[in-house]
């Protein structure tokens, strides 16, 4: 596949580069700049940054023009994410669900009224969304969702519990997957509601993560009255709509990752050059040289997996199963890389706080790296997808030698 850029794409790259160069927060990336660390600080910061992107026309890049987006090609989206990563610009954070999940799902299945009501405030960053899918007994097996929405005249009565709902405590709206028919097989009785998080009976309780922050929540719904007009599409078609949402969970933002990881690798090499062990920089230490070289090689592999992904998307118009190979690979690569960065720091690397190496980025990155192998489909689920859909292995069978079957 020829991935050379057209003159228009080169012009777009120059435009983005110039804008990012002139619009990063003052002092961003300099040693004196105090980056937001706590969840609360990051929410305030990210609302300002994402609003700025929106005002400059870089929000909803992938949204069609009729809905206020830019109608950018896939290649332009890749370029945008590459340039943001190259400039080490802040990543999309607080409006991720709205922009990437809620917007595309409402565009695909919402009524004209719903599109008019919900899409503009997502683009302008005036309303934040969360994704209420997972439950204590419905994560990988999402169709087992038990939160019920009982239709009673012109409204639903919602009761149940969601969990791991990122941003629920700061969100205005929720994409809620719930059961509206108990009598049919589990995939068939689900519906999809757009729920106002300020309604009485909704109780988000933040869950503290290993980093000390509370980004996600358990959310309790007790007799919540949701108007019938908040139903997305048709009753009992929620599973189809949920799959639309999930198919957007790993969009082209992922393609900027390998540049962000390249930046992280460069930081780690600098960290290894600065850190002295047994009288020599760690980067010259025989025990580390091989591991550092392997980290470099792994990143190259990730780049090629990314290029295969892009080729498949440009050929077929949508991501293929290569997406699972990429997710499985990079999420574990990140864990290895973060582990190595801590090993470079030695015993002191376990210490976090203002005096930590590189302002605690390695400690925090290490702790967060565990989430990557769970969120957006755990590693085991990715392996199931690869074995069944890429390698054509039989579904749901536990392998055993023939004589033992
Ligand atoms: C940082 C983070 C943010 C999140 N944000 C949200 C959010 O905003 N909204 C939301 O709805 N959810 C969110 N989630 C939840 C996420 O989607 C689920 O954690 C994920 O789908 C796994 O589900 P589970 O936690 O219930 O684990 P389970 O599904 O209970 O899995 C437990 C273990 O069993 C393994 N397993 C399960 N089924 C199989 C199988 N068939 N074959 C082999 N192994 C299997 C899994 O891989 C895992 O190791 C978030 C998760 C994280 C980590």
Query: Using one digit for the tens of pLDDT, what is the confidence trace for 160-209?
Result: 999 999 999 999 999 999 999 999 999 999 999 999 999 999 999 999 99
The model's confidence at residue 245, banded by pLDDT at 50, 70 and 90, is: very high
Q: Which of 176, 118, 186 is nearest to 147 (CA)?
A: 176
The three-state DSSP-derived secondary structure of the chain is CCCCCCHHHHHHHHHHHHHHHHHCCCCCCCCCCCCCCCHHHHHHHHHHHHHHHHHCCCCCCCCCHHHCCCCCCHHHHHHHHHHHHHCCCCCCCCCHHHHHHHHHHHHHHCCHHHHHHHHHHHHCCCCCEEEECCECCECCCHHHCCCEEEEECCEEEEEEEEEEEECHHHCCEEEEEEECCCCCCHHHHEEEEEEECCCCCEEEEEECCCCCCCCEEEEEEEEEEEEHHHECCCCCCHHHHHHHHHHCCCCCHHHHHHHHHHHHHHHHHHHHHHCEECCEEHHHCHHHHHHHHHHHHHHHHHHHHHHHHHHHHHHHCCCCCHHHHHHHHHHHHHHHHHHHHHHHHHHHHHCCCCCCHHHHHHHHHHHHHHHHCCCCCCHHHHHHHHHHHHCCCCCCCCCCCHHHC
pLDDT of 364 higher than 80: yes
pLDDT of 252 higher than 80: no
pLDDT of 1 higher than 80: no
CB 165 within 8 A of CB 205: no
Out of 36-50, 146-160, 240-254, which region has the weakest mean confidence (pLDDT)?
A: 240-254
pLDDT value for 136:
97
Q: Whose CA is nearest to atom 47 of ligand 1?
A: 380
Distance CA 5, CA 358 (A): 36
> Tens digits of per-residue pLDDT, 66-120?
999 999 988 898 899 889 989 999 988 999 999 999 999 999 999 999 999 999 9
The model's confidence at residue 57, banded by pLDDT at 50, 70 and 90, is: very high
- Ligand 1 centre from 285 Cα, in Å? 39
pLDDT of 256 higher than 80: no
Residues 6+ away with beta carbon under 8 Å from 228: 151, 153, 154, 155, 156
Q: Which of 28-32, 138-142, 315-319 has the highest mean pLDDT?
A: 138-142
161 lines ligand 1 (CB under 6 A): no
Does the active-site annotation cover 83? Answer: no
Ligand 1 atom closest to 376 (CA) = 17
- Ligand 1 centre from 309 Cα, in Å? 24
247 lines ligand 1 (CB under 6 A): no
380 lines ligand 1 (CB under 6 A): yes
Class for the domain spanning 7-94: mainly alpha
Q: How many C-beta atoms lie closer than 10 Å to residue 245's C-beta? A: 23
140 lines ligand 1 (CB under 6 A): yes
CB 70 within 8 A of CB 57: yes
pLDDT of 403 higher than 90: no
Percent of all residues in the chain with a pLDDT value above 70, rounded to a whole number: 93
- Ligand 1 centre from 30 Cα, in Å? 37
> Tens digits of per-residue pLDDT, 19-44?
999 999 998 888 788 888 889 999 99
The CATH homologous superfamily for domain 123-235 is Butyryl-CoA Dehydrogenase, subunit A, domain 2 (2.40.110.10)
The model's confidence at residue 352, banded by pLDDT at 50, 70 and 90, is: low
166 lines ligand 1 (CB under 6 A): yes
Of these residues, 9, 249, 284, 339, which one is catalytic? 249
Q: Whose CA is nearest to atom 26 of ligand 1?
A: 139
- Ligand 1 centre from 165 Cα, in Å? 12
pLDDT of 47 higher than 90: yes
pLDDT value for 336:
95
pLDDT value for 120:
96
pLDDT of 405 higher than 50: no
pLDDT value for 31:
77
129 lines ligand 1 (CB under 6 A): no
Distance CA 26, CA 148 (A): 48
Q: Whose CA is nearest to atom 7 of ligand 1?
A: 165
Distance CA 247, CA 255 (A): 15
- Ligand 1 centre from 138 Cα, in Å? 8
| CATH code of the domain made up of 254-390 | 1.20.140.10
216 lines ligand 1 (CB under 6 A): yes
Mean of pLDDT over the chain: 90
Q: Whose CA is nearest to atom 45 of ligand 1?
A: 380
Percent of all residues in the chain with a pLDDT value above 90, rounded to a whole number: 67
230 lines ligand 1 (CB under 6 A): no
pLDDT of 380 higher than 80: yes
Domain definitions of the chain by residue range: 7-94, 123-235, 254-390
pLDDT value for 82:
87
139 lines ligand 1 (CB under 6 A): yes
- Ligand 1 centre from 390 Cα, in Å? 22
């Amino acid at each position: 596949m020829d991935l050379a850029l057209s003159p228009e794409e080169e012009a777009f790259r120059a435009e983005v580069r110039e804008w990012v160069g002139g619009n990063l927060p003052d002092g961003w990336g300099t040693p004196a700049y105090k980056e937001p660390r706590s969840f609360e600080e990051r929410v305030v910061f990210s609302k300002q940054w994402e609003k700025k992107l929106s005002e400059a026309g870089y929000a909803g890049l992938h949204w069609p023009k009729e809905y206020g987006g830019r109608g950018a090609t896939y290649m332009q989206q890749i370029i945008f994410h590459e340039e943001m990563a190259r400039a080490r610009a802040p990543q999309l954070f607080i409006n991720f669900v709205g922009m990437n999940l809620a917007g595309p799902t409402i565009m695909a299945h919402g009524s004209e009224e719903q599109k008019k009501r919900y899409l503009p405030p997502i683009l302008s960053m005036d309303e934040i969304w969360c994704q209420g899918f997972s439950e204590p007994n419905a994560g990988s097996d999402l169709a087992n969702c038990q939160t019920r929405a009982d239709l009673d005249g012109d409204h639903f009565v919602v009761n149940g519990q969601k969990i791991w709902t990122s941003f629920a405590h700061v969100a205005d709206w929720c994409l809620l997957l719930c059961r509206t028919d108990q009598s049919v097989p589990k995939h068939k009785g689900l519906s999809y509601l757009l729920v106002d998080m300020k309604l009485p009976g909704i109780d988000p309780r933040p869950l503290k993560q290993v980093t000390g922050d509370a980004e996600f929540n358990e959310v309790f719904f007790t007799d919540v009255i949701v108007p019938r007009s908040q139903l997305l599409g048709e009753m009992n078609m929620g599973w189809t709509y949920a799959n639309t949402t999930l198919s957007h969970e790993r969009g082209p933002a992922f393609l900027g990752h390998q540049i962000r990881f390249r930046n992280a690798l460069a930081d780690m090499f600098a960290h290894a050059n600065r850190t002295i062990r047994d009288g020599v920089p760690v980067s010259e230490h025989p025990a580390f040289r091989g591991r550092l070289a392997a980290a470099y090689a792994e990143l190259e592999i990730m780049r090629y997996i990314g290029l295969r992904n892009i080729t498949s998307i440009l050929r077929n118009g949508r991501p293929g199963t290569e997406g699972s190979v990429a997710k499985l690979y990079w999420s574990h690569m990140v864990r290895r890389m973060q582990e190595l960065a801590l090993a470079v720091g030695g015993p002191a690397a376990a210490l976090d706080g203002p005096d930590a190496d590189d302002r605690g980025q390695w400690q925090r990155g290490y702790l967060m790296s565990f989430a990557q192998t769970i969120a957006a489909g755990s590693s085991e689920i990715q392996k199931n997808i690869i074995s069944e859909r890429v390698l054509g292995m039989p579904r749901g069978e536990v392998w055993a030698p023939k004589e033992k079957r």
